[in-house]
Amino acid sequence: MRYAKENGSRRDQMKTLSDVAAAYDEQAKANEILAQEILARVHPFPAEVRENQRWRAGWLMAEAARLRARAAELRRIESCPSMN
């Protein structure tokens, strides 16, 4: 109980679905930026390394898409009348 008093109640510390969705969007953006950086620097490396790095960049982009889809789903759930 002392922790809750010092740091606010547990309810105050809980993130909303919008907060989680925003965090997913931020991570998606970071993934996209990293993928772009990987692709921009891949050219001078041997073919095997380029192939591996392109795979990593593709995975990051796919993960970004999944995160954005999950963020949209959370926002949709939060906007449902039964949630309010």
Q: Where are the domains of the chain?
A: 17-83
The answer, yes or no, to whether residue 2 has pLDDT greater than 50, is no
Cα angle at 35 between 31 and 32, to 5 degrees? 40
Amino acid at 42: V
What is the predicted pLDDT for the residue at 10?
A: 58
- pTM reported for the whole predicted model: 0.77
| Segment 21-31, tens digit of pLDDT | 999 999 999 99
Instruction: Round to whole Å and give the CA distance between 35 and 55.
Output: 10
- C-alpha closest to that of 20 among 76, 81, 82, 84: 76
| Segment 8-65, tens digit of pLDDT | 655 567 889 999 999 999 999 999 999 999 999 999 999 999 999 999 999 999 999 9
The answer, yes or no, to whether residue 66 has pLDDT greater than 60, is yes
pLDDT tier, 76 (very low <50, low <70, confident <90, very high otherwise): very high
Instruction: Round to whole Å and give the CA distance between 81 and 57.
Output: 39
Token pair, residue 27, equals 């991570």
